[in-house]
């Protein structure tokens, strides 16, 4: 296909606020350009005191200006706002959130925010006291009411010795949210506010001896995407993660790390008591060694040591048996076709056995589902409805799952009537 017939690359305006986290915008920019986006960086004057214009220009291949008096004949604040497919602000300082909330337009970035009709994603970064101040909370609420996606910040090390909520989410997470909004501008609607949700992720490991274990290929990426999207849709999220040390914890999420199926079961059953919805995305081992060896098993004349196996508890079935009224439970089925049935048929059979409200069925193997960034499958419901989950980023699949969960959760009026 010639250049004239090539698909247009998405155009993102990357706003950069004047905080120490501005240096992370360089990594956000690099990830966006490397994944096929055209990016124009629009920093504030304060941001340029942390990162120079030359750095942003070199990484983006675009000129960088902070004021409205550069390139005046092109009226850049109007042109950029109209051309953008997404305006992403990272970091969004308390000052920048305040100016955006109140419609001030003293520089190129705030002018662009006023003229654009594209989705807007703002990733806050500031000290905890500033993030929790009533003025900031009011500004965030006002922006969200207007349709701006103000991401939940991470919690962790800030400047100096301070630590707490207000840390900029990791660049990979910001880019994941940006790509999600480009694919589906409504994917981060705040429809889970006031809800508590539990997500499990990763793959359990059952020890054979101090060195070896029985495990699986689940990386935890789908479960992390589910937790990340739920948090940004307003839920209080507990993420029970099995052996996902290579992944950064999603911003705004309580992380509980486990190793074995028994540990995951205990953590999940405890957290599920207060959860409005439970999504079991973890790959839980079906079996474990009956008696793990205390010492490393030695190789003896090439003869394999026997490993006796016993069944692990069926955590999903336990959750279904113990669920409260109104609680929504979602299972996952990683399947391969065989001589007896295809992937979807195996998923339907699992749905009938487990009795959960929703079941996500994934075809696995040959580069599908495990250890990759994208996913696809089917979403089955207890009422018999089925719909495909088309191939795309795991955050996009996560958004579809939460759409279905939100539609099943009782409304506030339903909850009051049940009391």
For residue 150, tell me if it sits in a domain.
Answer: yes
Residue 1: the pLDDT is 42
For residue 15, tell me if it sits in a domain.
Answer: yes
For residue 277, tell me if it sits in a domain.
Answer: yes
Candidate list 139, 216, 243, 312, residue with the active-site label: 216
Residue 299: the pLDDT is 79
Residue with tokens 């990830």: 31
Render pLDDT for 22-63 as a digit per residue (tens, 0 to 9).
999 999 999 999 999 999 999 999 999 999 999 999 999 999
Q: Which two tokens stand for residue 25?
A: 């915008």
Average pLDDT over residues 307-315: 92
Q: Which two tokens stand for residue 105?
A: 């337009």
Rounded CA gap, 226 and 394, in Å?
8
Sign of the alpha-carbon dihedral angle for 211, 213, 219, 224:
negative
Mean pLDDT of all residues in the chain?
Answer: 91
The yes-or-no verdict on residue 330 having pLDDT over 80 is: yes
Residue 34: the pLDDT is 95
Residue 195: the pLDDT is 97
Residue with tokens 């989705």: 119
Render pLDDT for 1-28 as a digit per residue (tens, 0 to 9).
444 555 789 999 999 999 999 999 999 9
Residue 138: the pLDDT is 98
Residue 382: the pLDDT is 93
Residue 314: the pLDDT is 94
Residue with tokens 């048996």: 321
Split at pLDDT 50, 70, 90, the class of 271 is: very high
Residue 40: the pLDDT is 96
Q: Among the three residues 121, 149, 183, which one is the final residue of a domain in this structure?
A: 183
Are 285 and 232 part of one and the same domain?
Answer: yes
Q: Which two tokens stand for residue 166?
A: 């207000």
Residue 73: the pLDDT is 52
Q: In whole angstroms, what separates CA 188 from the centre of its chain?
A: 10
Residue 66: the pLDDT is 83
Rounded CA gap, 87 and 122, in Å?
8
Render pLDDT for 99-144 as a digit per residue (tens, 0 to 9).
999 999 999 999 999 999 999 999 999 999 999 999 999 999 999 9
Q: How many CA atoms lie within 13 A of 406 on its CB side?
A: 19
Are 91 and 216 part of one and the same domain?
Answer: no
Average pLDDT over residues 167-190: 96
User: 129 CB contacts (<8 Å, ≥6 apart)?
Assistant: none
Residue 217: the pLDDT is 82
Q: What is the CATH number of the domain that holds 117?
A: 3.40.50.1950
For residue 55, tell me if it sits in a domain.
Answer: yes
For residue 1, tell me if it sits in a domain.
Answer: no
Are 280 and 172 part of one and the same domain?
Answer: no
Are 161 and 243 part of one and the same domain?
Answer: no
Residue 76: the pLDDT is 60
Residue 413: the pLDDT is 58
Rounded CA gap, 44 and 154, in Å?
23
Are 346 and 251 part of one and the same domain?
Answer: yes
The yes-or-no verdict on residue 284 having pLDDT over 50 is: yes
Nearest Cα residue to 374 out of 354, 358, 341, 398 = 398
Are 101 and 143 part of one and the same domain?
Answer: yes
Are 166 and 241 part of one and the same domain?
Answer: no
Are 207 and 348 part of one and the same domain?
Answer: yes
Q: What is the CATH number of the domain that holds 282?
A: 3.40.50.10300
Q: Among the three residues 136, 154, 183, which one is the final residue of a domain in this structure?
A: 183
Q: Which two tokens stand for residue 193?
A: 């506010």
Number of domains in the chain: 2
The three-state secondary structure class of 228 is helix
Residue with tokens 């911003």: 251
Q: What angle do CA 196, 392, 60 make, to 5 degrees?
A: 100
Are 233 and 135 part of one and the same domain?
Answer: no
Q: Among the three residues 161, 183, 205, which one is the final residue of a domain in this structure?
A: 183
Q: What is the pTM of this model?
A: 0.92
Domain with 236, as residue range(s), is 196-418
Are 376 and 350 part of one and the same domain?
Answer: yes
Are 165 and 243 part of one and the same domain?
Answer: no
Higher-pLDDT residue of 363 and 97 is 97
For residue 200, tell me if it sits in a domain.
Answer: yes
Are 376 and 342 part of one and the same domain?
Answer: yes
Q: Which two tokens stand for residue 128?
A: 């905890």
For residue 73, tell me if it sits in a domain.
Answer: yes
Q: Is 139 assigned a catalytic role?
A: no
Render pLDDT for 369-404 as a digit per residue (tens, 0 to 9).
676 778 889 999 998 999 999 989 999 999 999 999
For residue 242, tell me if it sits in a domain.
Answer: yes
Residue 2: the pLDDT is 47
Render pLDDT for 154-175 as a digit per residue (tens, 0 to 9).
998 887 778 889 999 999 999 9
The yes-or-no verdict on residue 412 having pLDDT over 70 is: no
Q: Which two tokens stand for residue 217?
A: 């290929």
């Amino acid at each position: 296909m010639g250049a004239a017939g090539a698909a247009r690359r998405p155009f993102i305006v990357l706003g950069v606020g004047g905080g120490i986290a501005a240096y992370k915008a360089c990594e956000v920019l690099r990830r966006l350009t490397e994944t096929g986006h055209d990016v124009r960086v629009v920093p504030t004057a304060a941001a340029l005191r942390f990162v120079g214009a030359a750095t942003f220009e070199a990484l983006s291949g675009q000129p960088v200006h902070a004021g409205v008096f550069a390139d005046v004949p092109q009226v850049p604040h109007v042109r950029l706002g109209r051309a953008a497919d997404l305006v992403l602000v990272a970091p969004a300082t308390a000052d920048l959130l305040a100016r955006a909330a109140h419609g001030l337009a003293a520089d190129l970035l705030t002018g662009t925010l006023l003229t654009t009709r594209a989705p807007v994603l703002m990733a806050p970064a500031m000290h905890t006291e500033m993030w929790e101040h009533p003025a900031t909370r009011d500004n965030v609420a006002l922006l969200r009411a207007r349709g701006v996606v103000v991401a939940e910040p991470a919690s962790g090390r800030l400047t100096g010795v301070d630590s707490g909520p207000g840390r900029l989410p990791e660049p990979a997470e910001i880019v994941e949210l940006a790509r999600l909004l480009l694919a589906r501008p409504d994917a981060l609607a705040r429809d889970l506010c006031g809800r508590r949700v539990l997500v499990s992720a990763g793959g359990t490991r059952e020890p054979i001896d101090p060195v070896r274990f029985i495990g699986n290929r689940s990386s935890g990426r789908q479960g992390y995407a589910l937790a990340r999207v739920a948090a940004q849709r307003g839920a209080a999220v507990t993420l029970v993660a099995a052996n996902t040390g290579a992944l950064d914890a999603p911003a705004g999420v309580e992380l509980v790390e486990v190793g074995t199926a028994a540990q995951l079961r205990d953590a999940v059953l405890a957290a599920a008591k207060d959860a409005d919805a439970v999504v079991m995305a973890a790959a839980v081992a079906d079996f474990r060694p009956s008696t793990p060896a205390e010492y490393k098993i030695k190789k003896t004349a090439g003869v394999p040591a026997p490993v006796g196996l016993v069944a692990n508890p069926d955590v999903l079935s336990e959750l279904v048996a113990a669920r409260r009224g109104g609680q929504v439970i979602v299972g996952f089925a990683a399947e391969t076709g065989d001589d007896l049935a295809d992937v979807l048929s195996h998923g339907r059979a699992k749905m009938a056995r487990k009795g959960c409200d929703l079941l996500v069925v994934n075809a696995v193997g040959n580069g599908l589902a495990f250890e990759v960034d994208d996913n696809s499958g089917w979403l089955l419901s207890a009422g018999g409805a089925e719909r495909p989950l088309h191939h795309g980023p795991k955050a996009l699949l996560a958004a579809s799952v939460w759409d279905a969960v939100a539609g099943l959760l009782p409304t506030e009026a339903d909850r009051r009537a049940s009391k």
